Amino acid sequence: MDKYDIRKQFKELYAPRARDFEVVNVPPLNYLMLDGHGNPGTAPTYATALEALYSVSYAVKFASKHAGRDYAVGPLEGLWTADDPEAFTRGDKDSWKWTMMITQPDWIGSAEVQDGLAKAASKKVPGLDQLRLGTLDEGLSVQILHIGSYDDEAPTLHRLHHEFMPASGFGFGGPHHEIYLSDARRVAPEKLKTILRQPVRQL
């Protein structure tokens, strides 16, 4: 049996171009999710959230593989909001609210997640009580590949919000969504690859 990989299954969603904005339709997808707020570079809860997400995601993956259905753990993703949307273009990170996520195959349900939580709890992983399995249905969205530091995203977001979306007759249809294709611990900031996605609605 082929190994399931979300990036291959939905290539049009996980391999956009870096030059132009692309309009896509995102189907409902299941995620392990954990909410928090504050600067991701300094907030202790952010690091805790990532540890919990990865610990449970890999515990669930290895149990599924043992049962005969193997898959690649998806990339880290995040939903980002703020009371003032301009907080993103200003870089006001302390006011950011986030939901960090990792996709799960559709055969992974609450029972599998509970088993994964139990395995992670036996290793004293923190933050597990805030983890949940949920479905995100974004539908019509605009996305682009950003290559470079996270701090350099603001000009692209400004162009999306103030040029492409108004010209296309789009309004905001959900939280700003980022998909992290690179491991920031191993890749130089100027080479990081991040998908910037904005759910939209036709005005």
Q: Which are the contacts of 103, defined by CB distance < 8 A and separation ≥ 6? A: 6, 29, 30, 31, 74, 77
Question: Which residues on neighbouring strands pair with residue 62, listed in sequence order?
Answer: none
pLDDT of residue 91: 72
pLDDT exceeds cutoff 80 at 14? yes
Rounded CA separation 16/13 (Å):
7
Domain ranges of the chain: 6-202
- DSSP 8-state assignment for residue 148: S
Q: Which are the contacts of 144, defined by CB distance < 8 A and separation ≥ 6? A: 16, 17, 18, 20, 21, 22, 156, 160, 195, 196
3-state secondary structure of 154: helix
Rounded CA separation 46/40 (Å):
6
Quickly state the pLDDT bin for 183 (edges 50, 70, 90): confident
Mean pLDDT of all residues belonging to the chain: 93
Rounded CA separation 43/88 (Å):
17
pLDDT exceeds cutoff 80 at 19? yes
Quickly state the pLDDT bin for 1 (edges 50, 70, 90): low
CA distances to 155, 187, 192 from 181, rounded to whole Å, are 20, 10, 8
Q: What is the pLDDT of residues 81-95, one digit of tens each?
A: 988 877 777 777 888
| Domain covering 6-202 assigned CATH 3.20.80.10 in the classification | yes
Q: Which of 4, 88, 101, 122 is nearest to 57 (CA)?
A: 101
DSSP characters for 78-139? EEEE-SSTTHHHHT-GGG-EEEEEEEE-TT--HHHHHHHHHHHHHTT-TTGGG-EEEEE--E
Quickly state the pLDDT bin for 105 (edges 50, 70, 90): very high
Q: What is the pLDDT of residues 135-167, one digit of tens each?
A: 999 999 999 999 999 989 989 999 999 999 999
Q: What is the pLDDT of residues 192-201, one digit of tens each?
A: 999 999 999 9
pLDDT of residue 163: 96
For tokens 């950011």, what's the residue? 96
